[in-house]
Amino acid sequence: MLTIYHLETSRSERIVWLMEELGLEYKLEIFPRETSAAAPAPLKSIHGLGKAPVIRDGEVVLAESGAIVEYIVYRHAGGRLAVPPDDPSYARYLYWLHFAEGSLMSLMLIALVLSRVPEARTSPVTARIGARVQQMLAFVDTELGNGPWFAGTAFTAADVMMAFPFTTMRHFLDVDMAPYPNLVAYVERVAARPAYQKAMRLAGPITR
Ligand SMILES: N[C@@H](CCC(=O)N[C@@H](CS)C(=O)NCC(=O)O)C(=O)O
């Protein structure tokens, strides 16, 4: 059976959510964070970088949430929750599937790091990054107007990748969502999904 190595309050909740959406069985191993918030050393014995998510599927050990999502969707679900290449939504689907980590999370992480450096508070770099975050959120909000889901009318694996920056990431980075009504409505749609609710009960953010 496929094992998900989940780091608490982290992106690896995506994989638990995906498995619940697909109705697939899995084993869940949860790793608490160190007091520094870093992943604990035992995760490194599973994958060299020691970051989450990681899965084990027989001989296969795979990290990187986007790769894991594609692996599960094609290896275990016959392409369910993916969009096939001949579908008009295919390009859109691919775009958001990769945008989540490639553009959005990378920018949000820069903002997160800067928010933790007191000396950076008044830096023009922080202001520039803040403006880029707002620009990106405004773009995503506008695009969601074509929704209700990122690839269009159907919920897909792109949503599994895209929701995290607007849900659990809120516990790390304080982003005011009020100016982005489509995003706010999107997060509500995600939260109403039974599979998401179950995944969050099992592997959702822990706030102490
Ligand atoms: N792009 C990677 C990012 C992996 C990553 O940075 N995971 C975080 C959890 S959200 C982590 O393990 N952080 C703990 C650490 O770096 O020590 C992915 O999508 O899987």
Kindly report, residue by residue over 98-156, the tens digit of the pLDDT.
999 999 999 999 999 999 999 999 999 999 999 999 999 999 999 999 989 999 999 99
Describe the strand order of the beta sheet including 60-63 as a list of residue ranges. 27-31, 3-7, 54-57, 60-63
Ligand 1 proximity of 159 Cβ (cutoff 6 Å): no
Ligand 1 proximity of 11 Cβ (cutoff 6 Å): yes
Q: Report the C-alpha gap between 56 and 103 in whole angstroms.
A: 27
Question: Could you tell me which of 1, 5, 6, 33 has the C-alpha nearest to residue 204?
Answer: 6
What's the gap in Å between 63 CA and the centre of ligand 1? 9
CA distance to 41, 53, 108, 187, 206, per residue, from 130 (Å): 33, 27, 9, 21, 26
Q: Report the C-alpha gap between 148 and 118 in whole angstroms.
A: 39
Question: Which pLDDT score, from 0 to 100, does residue 208 have?
Answer: 63
Question: Do residues 24 and 166 make contact, with C-beta atoms less than 8 angstroms apart?
Answer: no
pLDDT category at 1 given cuts 50, 70, 90 is very high
Kindly report, residue by residue over 184-198, the tens digit of the pLDDT.
999 999 999 999 999
- Under DSSP, the state recorded for 32 is P
What's the gap in Å between 86 CA and the centre of ligand 1? 33
Residue whose Cα lies nearest atom 19 of ligand 1: it is 65
Strand partners, 3: 27, 56
What's the gap in Å between 180 CA and the centre of ligand 1? 26
Domains of the chain, first to last: 3-81+196-203 (3.40.30.10), 90-193 (1.20.1050.10)
Nearest atom (ligand 1) to Cα of 34: 17
Residue 37 φ/ψ region, left for φ over 0, alpha for ψ in the -120 to 50 degree band, beta for the rest:
left
What's the gap in Å between 118 CA and the centre of ligand 1? 23
What's the gap in Å between 40 CA and the centre of ligand 1? 12
Kindly report, residue by residue over 47-92, the tens digit of the pLDDT.
999 999 999 999 999 999 999 999 999 999 999 999 999 999 999 9
Report pTM: 0.96
Ligand 1 proximity of 64 Cβ (cutoff 6 Å): yes
Q: Beta strands 27-31 and 54-57: pairing type? A: unpaired
Q: Report the C-alpha gap between 195 and 197 in whole angstroms.
A: 5
